[in-house]
Amino acid sequence: MPENLPQNDRDDGWVERVLPTELQAIRESEGDILRRLDELCYDEDQRFAVRLAFEEALLNAMKHGNKMNPDLSVSLAYRVTDEAVEIHITDQGRGFNPNGVPDPTADENLQRPCGRGVMLMYSYMDEVTYAEGGKQVRMVKYRKR
């Protein structure tokens, strides 16, 4: 596991973490972001949406990106403001083509056990963009008024 992983809470509200490739790290970082949503009184639907997309994105980074290699880490940056939640997640894997993920709702793919996570991220967040050849995902959820 990478040691001395940096953590940084910046003045502009961005929180930066480097996470080990361990599923337990998802739970811990999820607790932090949910606390910030609660502090700013985001409603339950938005909390559900952010939590789901956050978990799916981190799980993808660790399982499909880093292939659960404990020598690799995942960089996480997020900012929760009154207006929006922004999340950036970067893995150290080989990247992927997000446009190449088969549509899990197509009849021929319904029986496939995989491939729903990315689709759920697109469904629950207002913006989802991939960068760095698929190694980084940036997601935004705007606050519903």
Partner 1 sequence: MPEEGIVFVSDVGGVKLVRLRAGNLTREADVEVFGMALEALAEEPDQKVVLSFLGVEHLASLAIGRLVRVQRLMEAGGSEMVLADIDPRIFEVFALTALDKMFHVFEREGDALAYFKGKAEA
Considering only residues 111 through 140, tell me which ones interact with partner 1, judged by CB under 8 A: 111-114, 116-117, 119-120, 123
Q: Is 51 in the site for partner 1 (CB under 8 A)?
A: yes
Kindly list the distances between the CA atom of residue 140 and the CA atoms of 77, 87, 101, in Å, as whole numbers in the listed order.
Answer: 12, 6, 21
Between 55 and 86, CB nearer to partner 1: 55
Q: Is 56 in the site for partner 1 (CB under 8 A)?
A: yes
3-state secondary structure 3-54: CCCCEEECCCCCEEEEEECCHHHHHHHHHHHHHHHHHCCCCHHHHHHHHHHH
Considering only residues 91 through 110, tell me which ones interact with partner 1, judged by CB under 8 A: 104-105, 110
d(CA 71, CA 49): 30
Between 84 and 114, CB nearer to partner 1: 114
Q: Give the residues lining the site for partner 1 (CB under 8 A).
A: 23, 27, 44-45, 48, 51-52, 55-56, 59, 104-105, 110-114, 116-117, 119-120, 123
